[in-house]
Amino acid sequence: MSGIDLVPPFTGEAAARGRAEIPVDEPRTDALPPGDALPPTPPGAGPTPASGRPRRGFPGVALIRSTHGLQRTMLLIGLVIVALFILLAIFAPAIAPYSFSTMFSPDLPLSATHPFGTTVGGYDVFSRVIFGARTALEVIVLAVILSLIIGVPLGVISGFIGRWIDRVLVLIMDALYAFPSLLLAIVVWIAVSKNRSGAEIGIISAAVSITVVFIPQYFRVTRNATIQAKVEPYVDAARVAGAASGRIMFRHILPNVSQTIPVLMTLNASEAILTLAGLGFLGFGIEPSSAAEWGYDLNKAQPDLANGIWWTSVFPGLAIVLIVIGVTLIGESLNDVLNPLLRTRGGATTADEAEIASLIQADDHTAEPAAAATGAPPGVGQPPSPGKEAQP
């Protein structure tokens, strides 16, 4: 396992013993510090040569292997879409025929020179759709990193220290969580952008807005996991050995509570795209001359509809739908793979069944079959290191 050398064996083993829902015969040393689990690297979505030693470290392959039937199809579709999206984002200038701000005659219909037509402002829709991937990727990566950096440590501190800090933070986070994410994002956007415009300000404002929306989720997950983890023997051992609270929190507990974070990250990535598009649609976008953003383009395309000009809205919209579907499919598959007990063999398993399994698990009398169903089969026995797999 590639993750093993990154985690002190002592913590890893203790974690495997400590976490009730993980089978004992699968020592999961996948607890990487969150820094290793960031998404920007594209996965080798294609089947990397499986001949020779099947290195479990290859992103994607082990993940795909551990899936079956319908779930595998869903995962593959998701991976292909996301890989395509990342490639488009990175190579946008090479793929797009024109720049996002090149002007042509307005409202040209679809043609060979303008596959998706042009907008009222005279921009090439095809090029803008491709460059939109770049904006979206930048915002998502920034937002996910920021929410991790802020949300996870807050969760660990709150869960570990407890007392009034915990109560106050939980109250604030719950209040933020209950609020419609779009409204919150708007308010934060206004505060961050401060009437300034430009591509960088636009991207940063969007990312910060989305971050504030997501912090409560990372906070909750980490806090609850920390509360469970802090009564584990390895924490006591560290304390007895004289480790300071800060060290216990960030060297011992953090690596062990970060397992659920990759799933949350993928699920959040899709929501981030939707929030970004929603912001853009309400006019909190980036000026068309400085970057391309799908939601903002849809906003500008609204009046075109009445004139029967459909291509200015349909293509950016489809781009959003497609990428959100891709990320959602990966997120759901990842959820199952990283929660092996929730997986049943041979059938289509999604987050839904996972939830059912966990609910059934709660009843003592039904726990038996669910546990049996996950008896590690050869291919699944060594769960992939999610630190690597989590890279969509």
Partner 1 sequence: MAKGTQSSGKALAKYMLIRLVLVIPTVWILVTIVFFFLRVTGDPITAALGGRLPPDQLEARKQAAGYNDPIIVQYGRFLDQLLHGNFGITMDQQSVSHILLQYGPATAELVFWSLIVAFLVGIPLGRLAARHYNQVQDVSIRTFAIIFYAAPVFFVGLLLKLIFSVWLGWLPSSGRASPMVEAELQNVPVNTHIYIINAFETGNMSDVVDVLEHAILPALALGLLTAGVFIRLVRINLLQTLRTDFVTAARARGVSEGKVVSQHAFRNALIPVVTVMGMQIAMMLGGAILTETTFEWQGLGYWLSHYLSNRDFVAVQGIVTALAIIIALASFLIDLINALVDPRVRY
Look at the alpha carbons of 326, 328, 333, 339 in this order and tell me if their dihedral is positive or negative. Answer: positive
Minimum Å gap between C-beta 221 and partner 1 is 17
Tokens of 72: 């595998």
Residues pairing with 118 in the sheet:
124
- Of 165 and 187, the one with the shorter C-beta distance to partner 1 is 187
Q: What are phi and psi of 73, to 5 degrees?
A: -60, -45
Amino acid at 8: P
Minimum Å gap between C-beta 351 and partner 1 is 9
- Of 125 and 229, the one with the shorter C-beta distance to partner 1 is 125
Minimum Å gap between C-beta 298 and partner 1 is 6
- Of 20 and 178, the one with the shorter C-beta distance to partner 1 is 178
- Of 148 and 277, the one with the shorter C-beta distance to partner 1 is 277
**Residue 341: count of CB within 10 angstroms of its CB:** 20
Minimum Å gap between C-beta 80 and partner 1 is 15
Contact 343, 325 (CB under 8 A): no
- Of 77 and 243, the one with the shorter C-beta distance to partner 1 is 77
Minimum Å gap between C-beta 181 and partner 1 is 6
Buried b / exposed e over 98-115, threshold 16 CB at 10 Å, is bebbeebeebbeeeeebe
Site residues, partner 1 (CB under 8 A): 70, 171-172, 174-176, 178-183, 186-188, 190-191, 194-195, 270, 274, 277-278, 281-284, 295, 298, 301-302, 305-306, 308, 310, 313-314, 317, 320-322, 324-325, 328-329, 347-348, 350, 352-353, 355-356, 359-360, 366
| Backbone region of residue 242 per phi and psi (left: phi > 0; alpha: psi in -120 to 50; beta: other values) | left
Minimum Å gap between C-beta 31 and partner 1 is 29
Minimum Å gap between C-beta 383 and partner 1 is 24
- Of 238 and 370, the one with the shorter C-beta distance to partner 1 is 370
Tokens of 121: 């402002």
Closest CA to 158 of 227, 237, 211: 227
Closest CA to 69 of 345, 352, 370, 273: 345
Q: DSSP labels for 340-376?
A: GGG--SSS---HHHHHHHHHHHHSGGGHHHHHHHTS-
- Of 6 and 176, the one with the shorter C-beta distance to partner 1 is 176
Q: What are phi and psi of 230, to 5 degrees?
A: -75, -10
